[in-house]
Structure 1
Amino acid sequence: MAYWTENDKEYGVACLVVIDRENLQVVEEVSFHDEITVPYLPGFLAFRELPLILEAVKLLKIKPELYMFDGNGYLHPRHMGIATHASFFLGKPTIGVAKNYYHIEGAEFVLPDNYEGACTEIVKNGEIYGQVLRTHQNVKPIFISCGNWIDIETSQKFVLEFVTKESRLPVTTRYADILTHKERKKLSGITND
């Protein structure tokens, strides 16, 4: 998602990028934009972003078997990050992939060792909320969590499968982020993005 303000109204654009698992090539891109009427509240991102994302999903000709979200899933104070929330509408497995850690009171983790594929668990009261995953040596880790209908080990496997040498992020969320900023620039006239 990317946002902009125009005539005292806030707008957002959601972009989805479908990637072929065999060759990591983009096979479809869609976007949907509209006015944003829900204010940003930490922990309630899905209420703000999911309506636009679900409208973008309706535009897809190819129906993905798995969705990765730039955000969290089970790694959330109420276990209901955007990836988990979306799964109930999508009916498919979902994974949350976050660039930064969303603080959860009482959750603990240590940073993983400095090698590709190293990971540690994010735990609260003995329960695994997600993983801290280092996708490349000498880069900051990412934070992954199950959305729904998938376990953490399988989530990690898929995330690593979609990571290339270009970025610490999987191409699924990275390409969608790049497209989102291009679409925002086109729709809003923003030139310093």
Structure 2
Amino acid sequence: MKKENEGLIKQFTGIQEELLPQVKLENNFYKEEISLVAGVDLAYWENDTKHYGTCCIVVVDYHTMKVVEKVHSYGEITVPYIPGFLAFRELPLIIEAAKKLKSSPTVYMFDGNGYLHYRHMGIATHASFFLKKPTIGVAKSYLKIKEQDFTMPKQEAGAFTDIIIDEEVYGRALRTTKGVKPIFVSCGNEIDLATSTEVVMNFINNESRLPIPVRLADLETHKVRKELKDNL
């Protein structure tokens, strides 16, 4: 840990601890109401020693799988990368991009963690307080907490194992497609883990182990980053 980050870590930890009691791992909606799901992802680059980022949000119809809307934001990143506090680095761009949406997503799905986090405050959870919508965390790699490994799910689509640390469920390892590595799903806020898993599986096709909104947001960040790097 860099000494100059000690003050930020103390400040950020305090904010996370203040928000945590407000997290609700239960649905604040009826599942039949899900109509639009937004995928959120960010990408970064450097230019003349400065750090820049772009946030892309892709809204997809829950039933038809068609893209309804795409928006993005970009800007200089001034908060350093500190493990466990990624939200403070990413939130300004996420909020700016979300303000551009004309549609109103029922749920936001993040390329990152939610409750599966050292202090239960991954980007999906933290962002929910600004987006005012249910959120889901979908991570491609496993965040090991307290040296706790996960149990590999069975080799079948939809198989999962819960990630339990100190007798508490943090999230689950979900195998979305037979023969591929699992992804790691966790509640963000205002949604339960069963519904989070159901929403993720609804968006799985034969093109990727990732749900469509997250995969499209990821692809969009690479495209937008290239355009911005070439023009800034």
How far the C-alpha of 1:103 sits from its partner, in A, is 1.2
Out of 158, 182, 192, the position equivalent to 1:117 is 158
SS of the equivalent of 2:56 reads strand
How far the C-alpha of 1:108 sits from its partner, in A, is 4.1
How far the C-alpha of 1:154 sits from its partner, in A, is 0.5
Percent identity over the alignment? 59
How far the C-alpha of 1:106 sits from its partner, in A, is 4.6
**Structure 2 unaligned runs (5+)?**
1-41
Out of 43, 56, 63, the position equivalent to 1:15 is 56
- Work out the CA distance in 2 between the residues paired with 1:56 and 1:64: 13
How far the C-alpha of 1:189 sits from its partner, in A, is 2.2
* Alignment match, 2:124: 83
* Alignment match, 2:209: 168
* Alignment match, 1:62: 103
Tell me the alpha carbon deviations over residues 41-97 of structure 1, each in whole angstroms, 9 at most, x when there is no partner.
Answer: 111110111110110000000010100000000000100000000111111110000
- Work out the CA distance in 2 between the residues paired with 1:71 and 1:90: 16
Out of 153, 157, 161, the position equivalent to 2:198 is 157
> How much is the aligned-residue C-alpha RMSD, in angstroms?
1.0
**What does 1:1-193 align with in structure 2 at a 5 Å threshold?**
1-189=42-230
Rg larger in 1 or in 2? 2
Answer whether contact 1:108 1:124 (CA < 8 A) is retained: no
TM-score of the superposed pair, with normalisation by structure 2: 0.80
- Work out the CA distance in 2 between the residues paired with 1:109 and 1:103: 8
Question: What letter matches 2:214 in structure 1?
Answer: T
- Work out the CA distance in 2 between the residues paired with 1:94 and 1:146: 7
Runs of 4+ aligned structure 1 residues displaced above 2 Å come to 106-109
Moved more, 2-11 or 174-183: 2-11
- Work out the CA distance in 2 between the residues paired with 1:42 and 1:106: 16
TM-score of the superposed pair, with normalisation by structure 1: 0.96
Answer whether contact 1:16 1:56 (CA < 8 A) is retained: yes
How far the C-alpha of 1:7 sits from its partner, in A, is 1.9
**Structure 1 unaligned runs (5+)?**
none
Q: Which has the higher contact order (CA 8 A, sep 6+)?
A: 2
Aligned length: 190
